Amino acid sequence: MSLLKLASFPPATVSPGASVLEAVEVMAEHAVGAVAVVEHGILHGIFTERDVMLRVVLRQLSPKDTRVREVMTAPVETITDDTSEEDALVHMVERHVRHLPIVNTDGQLTAMLSIRNLLEHRVDELARELHSLDQYLSNDGPGG
Amino acid sequence: MSLLKLASFPPATVSPGASVLEAVEVMAEHAVGAVAVVEHGILHGIFTERDVMLRVVLRQLSPKDTRVREVMTAPVETITDDTSEEDALVHMVERHVRHLPIVNTDGQLTAMLSIRNLLEHRVDELARELHSLDQYLSNDGPGG
């Protein structure tokens, strides 16, 4: 399955000049923990709730007066939509990141993949397997 | 395997009267995204980096002047150390939580389990399986 089917589309984005407070508002609105930082279609970086905590609150910076470009992570690692689910998950766990922007062959941002997207898909699969097993046991299984 | 072997021990804790800034300092020091809120050995709630973003920064509260008890999640769901890894993971994904405090039979906090703890264990297992397969292919496998 293409990762695009699991990822958040369209991805939540802000411009590098947005304030941290504006970025937090975008994350709250989309119910996500990261925004892609984009200007003129170019992906400049990523800004996450972990960055809000460690780079803004911990340093006692003002969320209103601090620009995203000052506290974002850049350059940012990206994947393409033909990356496998397994590779994406292992990459996230090993690199301690919860989000990976998906870019197309022109390097343009197309979606944002979160570790939650991958896990929810796994849990759905597990639920389907259990449901099939349940059907088997009640309809065709031994001991009727 | 007991969940206690995977979880963070001792867990990062703060008192309900600590400031949000103090809680953030504890999370930064322990490199975690959640603290258990504990007083006199009793678990009162949980406070996470998501709460920092949505309940403090978004509402424009002061991290120095806001007490953890005002913005924590309480009551908090807990598990015991005989919960299975699978159940803990499915529970986290379905309930949209990344941390579950582990309590003993007296209801006292013993450790904090994060979704990261579970995933790192899974990746370790996968790496071990690949290593075994590799050994098999180079030593005993077909085609020498």
Q: Is the peptide bond before A16 cis (omega within 30 degrees of 0)?
A: no
The burial of A64, by beta-carbon neighbours within 10 Å (0-12 exposed, 13-18 middle, 19 or more buried), is given as: exposed
- Number of domains present in the structure of chain A: 1
Say how many C-beta atoms besides its own lie within 10 A of residue A62's C-beta: 11
Q: Which of A68-72, B64-68, B119-123 has the lowest mean pLDDT?
A: B119-123
* Residue B52, min C-alpha distance to chain A (Å): 7
- DSSP annotation of B42 reads E
- DSSP annotation of A12 reads P
Find the domain containing B61 and state its range: 3-139
Alpha helices, H only, B31-84? 49-51, 68-71
Q: Which of A120-129, B97-106, B117-126 has the lowest mean pLDDT?
A: A120-129
- Best interface-test mutation with B: which of A22, A55, A57, A118 has the largest number of B CBs within 10 A? A57
Indicate whether A44 belongs to any domain: yes
* Residue A24, min C-alpha distance to chain B (Å): 6
Residues of A in contact with B96 (CB under 8 A): 116
B131 vs B58, which has greater pLDDT? B58
B55 vs A121, which has greater pLDDT? B55
| b (16+ CB within 10 A) / e for A94-123 | eeebbbbbbbeeeeebbbbbbbbbbbebeb
Q: What is the CATH number of the domain that holds A48?
A: 3.10.580.10
pLDDT-derived band at B143, boundaries 50, 70, 90: low
Indicate whether B111 belongs to any domain: yes
Going residue by residue through chain A (144 aa), what tens digit of pLDDT does each one get? 788 899 988 899 999 999 999 999 999 999 999 999 999 888 999 999 999 999 999 999 999 999 999 999 999 999 999 999 989 988 998 888 999 999 988 888 999 999 989 988 887 777 777 777 777 777 755 554
B67 vs B133, which has greater pLDDT? B67
CB-based contact, A137 to chain B, within 8 Å:
no
* Residue B80, min C-alpha distance to chain A (Å): 22
Indicate whether B144 belongs to any domain: no
CB-based contact, B130 to chain A, within 8 Å:
no
Residues of B in contact with A21 (CB under 8 A): 57-58, 60
Q: Could you give the CA distance from residue A96 to residue B33 in angstroms, rounded to a whole number?
A: 12
DSSP SS3 for B39: strand
Indicate whether A42 belongs to any domain: yes
Q: What pLDDT score does A106 carry?
A: 83
Of B58, B122, B123, the CB nearest to A24: B58
Phi first, then psi, for residue B8 (nearest 5°) are -80, 120
Of B28, B63, B64, the CB nearest to A54: B28
Residue B37's DSSP bridge partners are B14, B45
Indicate whether A82 belongs to any domain: yes
Cβ atoms of A142 and A62 closer than 8 Å: no
Q: Could you give the CA distance from residue A93 to residue A95 in angstroms, rounded to a whole number?
A: 6
Indicate whether B34 belongs to any domain: yes
Indicate whether B129 belongs to any domain: yes
Residue type, B29: E
CB-based contact, A85 to chain B, within 8 Å:
no
Residue B39's DSSP bridge partners are B42
DSSP SS3 for A119: helix
Contact state of B53 with A54 under an 8 Å Cβ cutoff: no
Q: What is the secondary structure of A49-108 as a DSSP string?
A: HHHIIIIIITTT--TTT-BHHHHSB-S---B-TTS-HHHHHHHHHHHT-SEEEEE-TTS-
* Residue A106, min C-alpha distance to chain B (Å): 32
Q: What pLDDT score does B123 carry?
A: 79
User: To which residue do tokens 């600590």 refer?
Assistant: B18
Q: What pLDDT score does B144 carry?
A: 46
Cβ atoms of B12 and B26 closer than 8 Å: yes
CB-based contact, A4 to chain B, within 8 Å:
no
Mean pLDDT of the residues in chain B: 90
For the entire predicted model, the pTM comes to 0.84
Indicate whether A144 belongs to any domain: no
Q: Could you give the CA distance from residue B43 to residue B110 in angstroms, rounded to a whole number?
A: 10
Residue B36's DSSP bridge partners are B13, B46
Cβ atoms of A119 and A17 closer than 8 Å: no
Of B24, B54, B119, the CB nearest to A28: B54
